[in-house]
Structure 1
Amino acid sequence: MAEQTSSPTGLPALSTSMSEDGRLLDAPRTRQTESATQSATRSVAQRAHRPDVRSALGRRARANGRSTKPVIKPPRELRGAPDLALWANPTMWLFIVFVVLTAGSVGGYLVGWISAPFAILAGVVGRYVGFTVMHESSHRVAHKNSSLNDAVAWLPALSLTLSPHTFRTCHAQHHSHTNDPIVDPDYEVGRQPSVLRLAWLVSPLWSYRGRYYKMGWAKTRRHLWIQIVIDIALIAGLIAAIISGNFGSVVIVGILPLFVAVAFLTFAFDLLPHKPYDSTERYFDTRALPSRALNIALLGQNYHLIHHAWNTIPWYRYQAVYAAVRPDLKAIGARVDWGD
């Protein structure tokens, strides 16, 4: 099920396809497409602190002889969008929590019902929870009804200043090129010196946009313009807030919750599971950190290895799949325990 389109920016878009095991993979490229893509990414590569890291990762993969073999298959009943009633779908409950917390943080603060610290906290937690809804939607596992699956992504995405199309496209490249220092938009933290990584946790706010615009990842002109309109509206809103004297309120209900939520999301979904960014190979490009407490706090992302290996598994089934396939993953040397 391959998909390849021309970018509205004039650069060929990186095409993706879905394999039988649910992984987002690159479709075959022509020499012309590869050349244009390399040209578009050259400036990114030149800024990398370790420009040879990509070739080093390739040499490591070849030396180890690792590939997608052996094929490990989790129980089929745990894969795919759930055929559940709305009230029985955990992702739909997360959407409700997101709406209540995010709307409550704004409305409650502006009418004086809650203090600034509570407004910030509610805004952070709301966006954090909403991210999982958007993330599940991008993998088509938020709900079996495709229209509902797509619809629930919009508000969480907008609360993080992106369109669902922008996130899904960039996230697909993260799955197709995990830990690749040039293409992976989530590698922005990984390319920083260790002392700067914590300060760089908000980098997805610009790394996603930078690659989406520069590398021509928008699949249609409409998708591109939706993100452009969002960015124009953000700038106009900030200017209006400053002129009207309401910038302080915008900081409390918008800017601070956004930055804190993105920083924690980057830590939980990127830095923690992908560090030390030393492999681009399936089963070895991320890890699992088994813990019941973390499973609740991180909404399953402590089993990030499960998500990357089979991204059609809903977040609330990661732990069950981990228990089923852990012996097989352990046998091939995957990072499935603390200290691996």
Structure 2
Amino acid sequence: MTNREKVQLMKRSANGYCDTLAWPTILLVAVVFLSYFLTPVAVVAGLLPVSVGVLLMAFFTYAAYTGLHEAVHGAVCGGQQKHRWVNEWVGYLAAIPSGIPLCAHRHEHFSHHNHTNKVGEDPDLICADMTTNPWRLVASPMLLTAQQFQLFLRERWPSAHKELRRTFILETSAILLSRVLLLIALFGPVAASAGISTFSVSVDVLFTLVVGPLIGQVVLVYLFAYVVHRPHTVAGKFVDTSIFELPRALRSAGTWLWGFQNYHGIHHAFPRVPWYRYRAVFEAHRDELFEQGMPTYQLSGLKWRRVN
């Protein structure tokens, strides 16, 4: 069997993992969307400590991107085009807490997939130096978010049809308006019912709507974009994205907390496979993927040791 035939066989097998509606993704986005806006309300109302609110907002920010990312690749509806509208609405909802319009991210992210680790072509290389100093660690996710809008407006908008332009405007408006309405509610009826001062509300808002999401974005970019593509110099299918396999005792819990992105190499090899099935595909085709050269690391002590 030729190498091309082996790859095609793996691809057909992977397609079998994405032939149904991705209900876990739909449920995830529904919970995260509601929780993202209810958590600041709970903090201002005194139902949650600020520290808990910050951690929850960081987690919801990380989790929301999973839904946005899945929708970009059509992984919510899989091969069922009759459910394409579900895929798009999952993306629209996930885009609001993520702060990035689905249509803009789709343009940027496809460029990343088509040119992974290629200098001057892969837009995600903007975060390749995020660990060089604390400023870059914090700035990278903000720059990456801003880049979504810049690339879309510069490269896609001029030739975009009216429907796409309208979608971008509506998505951007929803992202901004939802936050304005939330602030009005927090400083108005929520603060009044809790009987707290404007200063106290401002502190709660700062931590839950700025600090928490920023922490989530830093963790997101580090785990989702930075570490899985190190050293950011290798290009080519199967070799430009890594697998990080946790010890057996921690594998299930750790993989869920990572959002299955420790198996990000599977995503780049088979983009339509839903996130919660990355591990299953890797385990089913471990030998074949090793043969293709997919970089794989296992945690040994406190260090990642490359095993392939």
TM-score (norm 2): 0.75
Q: How many residues align?
A: 270
Residue among 275, 281, 284 paired with 1:321: 281
- Matching residue's letter, 2:149: R
Structure 1 residue identity aligned to 2:274: P
Query: Contact between 2:95 and 2:175, CA under 8 Å: does it hold in 1?
Result: no
Give the drift of 1:129. Answer: 1.5
* Displacement of 1:301: 0.6
Q: Contact 2:107–2:156 at 8 Å: present in 1 too?
A: no
Q: Distance in 1 between matches of 2:57 and 2:217?
A: 11
Choose the corresponding residue for 1:312, options 257, 269, 272: 272
Cα deviation 1:65-115 (Å, max 9, x = unaligned):
xx989635436464264425x8xx221231233134313312212322112
2-structure distance, mates of 1:326, 1:72: 15
Q: Which residue of 1 aligns with 2:97?
A: 159
The superposition leaves residues 283-334 of structure 1 with CA deviations (integer Å, 9 ceiling, x where unpaired) of 1111111222432111211111110011011111111111122212212332
Q: Identify the range of structure 1 (72-81 vs 303-312) with the bigger mean alpha-carbon deviation.
A: 72-81
Aligned partner of 1:115 in structure 2 is 49
Report sequence identity in percent: 23
Q: Any residues of structure 2 matched to 1:22-171 within 5 Å, and which?
A: 71=7, 73-74=9-10, 76=12, 78-79=14-15, 81-84=18-21, 89-143=23-77, 144=80, 145-171=83-109
Which residue of 258, 265, 275 corresponds with 2:230? 275
The letter of the residue matching 2:66 is T
**Aligned residue number for residue 285 of structure 1:** 240
What is residue 335 of structure 1 aligned with on the other side? Answer: 295
Deviation per CA, 1:159-195: give whole Å up to 9, x if none.
1212111112211111111112323221101156734
Instruction: Provide, for residues 136-159 of structure 1, a one-character-per-residue CA deviation record: whole Å limited to 9, x for no partner.
Output: 111111134211111122222111
SS of residue matched to 1:337? strand
Structure 2: gaps of 5 or more residues: 188-197, 299-304
In structure 2, give the amino acid aligned to 1:221.
R
Distance between the aligned counterparts of 1:171 and 1:198, measured in 2?
21
5 Å-filtered alignment, 1:184-195, equals: 184-191=122-129, 194-195=132-133
Range that drifts further, 115-124 or 99-108: 99-108
> Aligned partners of 2:61 and 2:179: how far apart in 1?
20
Could you say which structure has the higher helix fraction? 2
From 165, 171, 176, the equivalent of 1:221 is 165
What's the TM-score once normalised by structure 1's chain length?
0.69
Instruction: Provide the residue aligned with 1:53 in structure 2.
Output: none
What amino acid is the match of 2:215?
V
Deviation of 1:276 after TM superposition, in Å, equals: 0.6
Q: Which runs of 5+ in 1 are unaligned?
A: 1-66
CA distance in 2, matches of 1:76, 1:68: 12
